[in-house]
Amino acid sequence: MTDLDADGMPLADYVIGTPGPRRRPRVEGPVLVARDVVAGYVPEVDILNGCSLTLADGELVGIIGPNGAGKSTLLKALFGLIPVRRGAVEFLGADISGLKANQLVARGIGYVPQVNNVFPRLTVQENLEMGLYLDAGRFAERLASVCELFPLLGQRRRQRAGSLSGGERQMVAMGRALMPDPQVLLLDEPSAGLSPIFQDEVFVRCRRINAAGVSIVMVEQNARRCLQICDRAYVLDQGANAHTGSGDEVLNDPKVIELYLGTLAKAQ
């Protein structure tokens, strides 16, 4: 019998495509750096109190931490959605602290927000077109490449994004961010709200996207799974760096287990 998803579609449709070989030339030094970033939403209220982060070429870096720690805020500061009050954000060695999101997309940074990350009234294809409005002439070529990673998007091209399941919408959101062929992808809780099987799929996909040459910063509430797949991780707490290390180091750090991974981690 064929396994079906919640919408009655065959699970086989979710098979992950194989990424092509890494096409991007290697970059010396870090691709993205946050240096002692101070940022916030309301004047004189700082949410980030000097956050730092380094993303090397080809890395998958995880950010974990309690609710309200400032994880989403850090991604927004990296992507020019809130002003950097002090400190700096650098991309490929250039200061990008004052640049706006559309300028950052043009330079090679993609971002998938935590919520409201698709246009529900538009079709899958229209959502993907929105991702490439700066360079519409490359649509066919980029669509083919994104559909290699997410075959389901090709099959559901004409369906409205709002009619898709949560897992499928997440694929649309990630596919849209990948349309301009970014060098860096910022993902805010890509597995949130998905059933365990799809959470796992998201992590596998992120590794595949990463293997295809896209450096990734991933914020995750599923801390253990994130630490298992990431190269390095940052634990944020109250808008500042609390712990840093390889995924394994952070996963097995008694302090991190005690404070951030909870009793579940201790039991396992």
Ligand X SMILES: Nc1ncnc2c1ncn2[C@@H]1O[C@H](COP(=O)(O)OP(=O)(O)OP(=O)(O)O)[C@@H](O)[C@H]1O
Applying CB under 5 A, the residues found at the interface with Mg ion are 71-72, 114
Instruction: Give the DSSP per-residue string, 4-73.
Output: B-TTS-BGGGGPPPPP----SPP-SSEEEEEEEEEE-SSTT--SEEEEEEEEETT-EEEEE-STTSSHHH
Of 37 and 124, which has the nearer Cβ to ligand X? 37
Binder among 14, 32, 61, 70 for ligand X (CB under 6 A): 70
Residues in the chain: 268
- CB of 206: closest distance to Mg ion in angstroms? 17
Spatial CA neighbour of 166 closest among 17, 4, 5 = 5
Q: Out of 10, 68, 93, 98, which residue is the one contacting ligand X (CB under 6 A)?
A: 68
Q: Which one of ligand X, Mg ion, none is in contact with 136 (Cβ closer than 5 to 8 A by kind)?
A: none
User: According to the binding rule CB under 6 A, does residue 67 interact with ligand X?
Assistant: yes
Q: What is d(CA 36, CA 129) in angstroms, rounded to the nearest whole number?
A: 36
Nearer to ligand X, 41 or 133 (CB): 41
Cβ neighbours of residue 167 under 8 Å, at least 6 residues apart? 5, 14, 194, 195, 198, 201, 202
The minimum distance between CB 27 and Mg ion, in angstroms, equals 28
Of the two residues 72 and 125, which places its CB atom closer to ligand X in the complex?
72
Nearer to ligand X, 179 or 226 (CB): 226
- Per CB under 6 A, does 241 bind ligand X? no
Shortest Å distance, C-beta 71 to Mg ion: 5
Contact 247, 64 (CB under 8 A): no
Give yes or no for residue 89 binding ligand X (CB under 6 A).
Answer: no
Determine, following the binding rule CB under 6 A, whether residue 73 of this chain makes contact with ligand X.
yes
Tell me the residue type at 28: E
Select from ligand X, Mg ion, none the partner in contact with residue 117, using the beta carbon and a kind-dependent cut-off of 5 to 8 Å.
none
User: Which of ligand X, Mg ion, none interacts with 195 (beta carbon under 5 to 8 A by kind)?
Assistant: none
Q: Is 249 exposed, middle or buried (0-12, 13-18, 19+ CB in 10 A)?
A: middle
Helix axes 166-178 and 196-211, enclosed angle (nearest 10) = 10
Residues in 167-226 that interact with ligand X by CB under 6 A = 221
Cβ distance 180 to 109 under 8 Å?
Answer: no
Choose, by CB under 6 A, the member of 51, 55, 69, 251 that binds ligand X.
69
Under the rule (CB under 6 A), what is the footprint of ligand X? 41-42, 47, 65, 67-73, 221
